[in-house]
């Protein structure tokens, strides 16, 4: 017999099963602990731009959904912003973290800030965000935007760039 018991991982199920074994000895199973773990599955659902505040540069925020059944812990991410501006080249990267994201549709976000002086650029930029968690799930998405000195406007559609 086969059963899909993935919904019972980490739980004890009660079974009333009796079998007469070899030599007429009865075998009884009462409780079974189902071992394993429910998995997390990260999915970047949105990348937005913006301004990091007075005297600072631009910011990028990634919204991350956990579409798996298990919790996503130690969620981290990186952002890469690349573009050729009118007055300077943009090549920026940053790291960020997010609180644990519960399973079954839980939402979290990671904000990346360019806190140095504002860029002096007007250009199209390519933004790539990569997120991962301790459970091994990861996701990478890209989007195009327009950098106007200190504010990033998102102009393109979210593209899945996982390899």
Taking only the tens place, the pLDDT of each residue in 27-86 is 666 666 666 667 999 999 999 999 866 666 778 999 999 999 999 999 999 999 999 887
Cβ atoms within 10 Å, residue 100: 15
pLDDT band at 163 (very low <50, low <70, confident <90, very high): low
Domain count for the chain: 1
Decide if 95 contacts 76 (C-beta within 8 A): yes
Average pLDDT over residues 117-143: 91
CATH number at residue 77: 2.60.40.10
Residue range of the domain that includes 76: 42-160
pLDDT in tens, 14-31: 666 666 767 777 766 666
Q: What share of the chain is helix, strand, coil (3-state, %, to 5)?
A: 5, 55, 40
Is residue 6 a part of any domain in this protein?
no
Residue 124: what pLDDT? 94
Is residue 9 a part of any domain in this protein?
no
Is residue 5 a part of any domain in this protein?
no
Is residue 27 a part of any domain in this protein?
no
């Amino acid at each position: 017999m086969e059963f899909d018991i993935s919904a019972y991982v980490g739980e004890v199920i009660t079974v009333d099963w009796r079998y007469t074994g070899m030599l007429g000895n009865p075998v009884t199973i009462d409780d079974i602990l189902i071992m394993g773990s429910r998995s997390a599955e990260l999915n970047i659902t949105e990348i937005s731009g913006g301004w990091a505040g007075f005297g600072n540069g631009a910011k990028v925020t990634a919204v991350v959904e956990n579409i798996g059944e298990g919790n996503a812990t130690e969620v981290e991410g990186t952002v890469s912003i690349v573009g050729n501006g009118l007055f300077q080249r943009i090549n920026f990267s940053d790291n960020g973290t997010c609180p644990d994201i519960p399973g079954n549709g839980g939402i979290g976000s990671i904000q990346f800030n360019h806190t140095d002086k504002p860029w002096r650029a007007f250009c199209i930029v390519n933004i790539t965000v990569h997120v991962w968690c301790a459970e091994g799930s990861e996701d990478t998405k890209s989007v195009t935007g327009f950098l106007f000195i200190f504010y990033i406007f998102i102009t393109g559609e979210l593209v899945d760039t996982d390899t």
